[in-house]
């Protein structure tokens, strides 16, 4: 019997796996979570409540797992959060539609040229009076 392997058409979405089928980002996030979560477990376990220790370890490690696994439209959560912040608080709420009017640009150029010629004529008149 023949075995079929699906090949994605868009190869830009393929991520290289480094260790145990995890990407470099996932390994770094999971490792950081483990480095912080395991000592929290042992510290809280000293109080005698193992359930509280396990829950606190899970609560501390969960954000690191989130940052390692979550992607929205191929973007990690910090990029999504930055874009949300910019759209919500930094950029203006109302963005009026403006066209690039060639005729208006020509009129502005003609006005600027007229002003320059007036300034030059006034300078020449002052020079002629002296």
User: 47-94 pLDDT, tens per residue?
Assistant: 888 899 999 999 999 999 888 888 888 888 889 999 999 999 988 888
Residue 68's pLDDT is what? 85
How many other C-beta atoms are found inside a 10 Å radius of the C-beta of residue 9? 6
Name every residue whose Cβ is closer than 8 Å to that of residue 58 and which is 6 or more positions away in sequence. Answer: 37
pLDDT score of 8 more than 70: no
Q: Is the pLDDT of residue 14 over 70?
A: no
* C-alpha span between 24 and 63 (Å, rounded): 17
Query: Tens digit of pLDDT for each residue in 91-105?
Result: 888 878 877 888 988
pLDDT at 128 over 80: yes
What pLDDT is attached to residue 117? 95
From the list 101, 76, 60, the residue with the least C-alpha distance to 23 is 76
* DSSP assignment letter at 88: I
CB burial class (10 A; 0-12, 13-18, 19+) of residue 68? buried
Cα 106 to Cα 39: distance, rounded to the nearest angstrom:
70
Cα distances from 90 to residues 38, 45, 80, 85, in angstroms, run: 39, 45, 15, 7
């Amino acid at each position: 019997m023949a075995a079929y392997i699906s090949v994605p058409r868009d190869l830009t979405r393929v991520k290289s796996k480094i260790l145990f089928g995890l990407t470099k980002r996932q390994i770094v996030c999971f490792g950081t979570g483990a480095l912080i979560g395991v000592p929290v477990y042992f510290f809280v376990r000293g109080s005698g409540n193992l359930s509280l220790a396990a829950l606190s370890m899970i609560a501390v490690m969960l954000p690191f797992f989130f940052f390692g696994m979550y992607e929205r439209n191929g973007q990690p959560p910090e990029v999504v959060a930055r874009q949300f912040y910019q759209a919500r608080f930094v950029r203006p709420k109302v963005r009026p539609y403006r066209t690039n009017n060639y005729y208006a640009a020509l009129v502005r150029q003609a006005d600027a040229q007229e002003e320059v010629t007036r300034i030059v004529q006034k300078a020449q008149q002052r020079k002629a009076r002296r």
